[in-house]
Amino acid sequence: MSVRVRYAPSPTGSPHVGNLRTAIYDWLLARKEGGKFIARLEDTDRSPERYVPEGIYDIEASLRFLGIMPDEWWVTGGSAGPYVQSQRLPIYQAEIERVIASGSAYRCYCTRERLDEMRKAQQERGTPTGYDRRCRFLSPEDRARHDAEGKPSVVRLAMPLDGVTVLHDEIRGDITYENRLQDDQVLIKSDGFPTYFFACAVDDHLMGITHIIRGDDWLSSAPKLVQVFHALGYPLPKFVHPPLIVGADKKKLSKRHGATQFSWFMEQGYLPEALLNFLVLLGWSAGDENRELFTIPELIEKFSIAGMSEHPAVFDYDKLNWINGQYIRSSEPGRIIGLCLPYLRKAGLIPEPPPGDASDEEKRIYRETWLDYARRIIPLEQERMKVLSEVVDLVGFFFEDLDYPNGYEPKAVAKWMGVAHLKPLLEKEITAFSALPDWTAAALEASVREITEELGVKFAEVIHPTRVAATGRTVGPGLFETLWALGRERTLHRLRTVLEKNDWPSTGA
RNA sequence: GGGGAUAUCGUCUAGAGGUUAGGACGAGGGAUUUUCAGUCCUUAAGCCGGGGUUCGAUUCCCCGUAUCCCUACCA
């Protein structure tokens, strides 16, 4: 039987990174085994906090971003649809009637109040909590009476009262649970919607799912799911419970650990392959290969359930940044430029492009003024970026109108704009740069080295003040590439401005 | 309270009944250099505890401990 795996998110907003890691595992397994990757929307919880209709777009965007497109899902359909649980109600209805008729499930008329009180009392007594099964043993007459009265009800699983349920997890092996300790799980809620357990079993069976891959947090309730499969008379798929992703405090990763929503990572400028690479490694390893960076084809080839770890993994933002930096550095500059432009526009460093119906002339000017400039600059910072959004801070000084000393780092000014040889240096540079036949990094360097000689100072004593005068800061790409990228006009303008406005010590004249 | 899972450097992990317990992130040091970054070299850092099995356990078993997860008409 060919492998079919599913990613089953709930539309509660932008998916959690742990959730997407599971999707990645699903996808890798499907690709590795030549199977199908299916996505199914689990929207059976209709409470306003848990049902965010727009959340579905975040899910789609995340999958697209990562490049892990389902073979069958609600967007494109498929032979086992519909792939949205709220559209499958009649299916659940038919199946639950069958299970009730078989005696493996029963209607429960207990009110929430009674359930709450019962639980409270159990907690106070220190006894295990759980439904007391009152309705399980209702007489047919009582049952008929409740139904006749139109009492609201839920349907519960009639959990076996003794014996054990053995779950074979592909990562951890056999796990044994005592049935008497399992609750009579609600399968159909009073609003008619199925709960996770029921919908999951029905859908996974009907969709031909061969491997249920889901977080470790499902492990303790797994026997209930297994019994639902039994009650329905379905064969069991394979179960895979990867370890949880946790925060630095070892607790299940959540909002309070910082960013966990996938959308945040997309906004920050993490590359898809970096995120995928990092997430895969959080709970899986290629074995004896001492390597952290894997291409997607390599991951598909090497992936296996056997390589999955069984203990939780702390989400390490530092390592993610390192991996992302690696991918940024090894990307084609053109790609990075294209990805960075939106950040520059958003920050107001470059304007929005002219509209489609603008004149060719306008478009040409935009391109030459902004795009060509950005194209010169961004590659200079490529090896410094950890995330794309950093480009704004990194290249800001290229775009901003520096009007000395406004926009200059005070510390940089204090350190270098008071040195004795600054004035002759600037004067010589302005003269030399104006006359430079070719505005290239090499020519600029030759020129500055010559000036250094004339001034009789160390190279560093020329480099640093020149950098500060031209950029307003002490750090950045190599000085000559910086000046080259800045262009002759901007460079001269900035040097002249410093020359004019600097607070020169009185010369005694 | 009950149940389940897990335990190798700070973090992600590899590993085998006998190894100098390997790699990576991060941290420290050094080199390169015009700064930062990068790159290269380098250092420190680990088998939870106690029993048992065994000639020999970090590795296998048991117990303990710790941590996490579940304990909803949420998934």
- Read off the pLDDT of residues A333-382 as tens digits, 9 standing for 90 and up: 999 999 999 999 999 999 999 998 989 999 999 999 999 999 999 999 99
Q: What is the pLDDT of residue A509?
A: 46
Q: How far apart are the first and last CA of chain A?
A: 95
Alpha helices in A85-238 (DSSP H): 89-102, 112-125, 140-148, 196-206, 222-232
For the cut 70, the answer to whether the pLDDT of residue A141 exceeds it is yes
Q: What is the pLDDT of residue A506?
A: 66
Give the least confident one: A49-58, A313-322, A483-492: A49-58
A171 within 8 A of A240, measured Cβ to Cβ: yes
| Residue A322 backbone dihedrals phi, psi, to 5 degrees | -65, -50
Helix (H) or strand (E) holding A196: helix A196-206
The complex scores an ipTM of 0.95
B33 C1' – A320 CA distance, angstroms?
Answer: 28
Report all structural domains of chain A as residue ranges with CATH numbers, in order of start. Answer: 4-85+244-317 (3.40.50.620), 88-240 (3.40.50.620), 331-397 (1.10.8), 401-501 (1.10.10.350)
Confidence (pTM):
0.94
**Nucleotide B24: nearest residue by CA–C1'?**
A292
Q: What is the pLDDT of residue A256?
A: 72
Nucleotide nearest to A182 (CA to C1'): B3
List active site positions of A. Answer: 255
**Nucleotide B23: nearest residue by CA–C1'?**
A290
In strand B, the nucleotides that come within 7 Å of a protein beta carbon are 1-8, 10-15, 22-26, 34-39, 67-75
Give the least confident one: A27-31, A70-74, A212-216, A398-402: A398-402
Q: What is the pLDDT of residue A294?
A: 97
For the cut 80, the answer to whether the pLDDT of residue A257 exceeds it is no
pLDDT range class, residue A507, cuts 50, 70, 90: low
A326: its two tokens? 């690696």
B63 C1' – A125 CA distance, angstroms?
Answer: 29
Q: What is the pLDDT of residue A290?
A: 87
B12 C1' – A281 CA distance, angstroms?
Answer: 7
pLDDT range class, residue A260, cuts 50, 70, 90: confident
Strands A105-108 and A154-157: antiparallel
Q: Average the pLDDT over A288-298 and give the result.
A: 93
Q: What share of chain A is helix, strand, coil (3-state, %, to 5)?
A: 55, 10, 35
B18 C1' – A288 CA distance, angstroms?
Answer: 20
CB atoms within 10 A of CB A435: 8
CB atoms within 10 A of CB A307: 14
Across all residues in chain A, what is the average pLDDT?
Answer: 94
Q: What is the pLDDT of residue A501?
A: 85
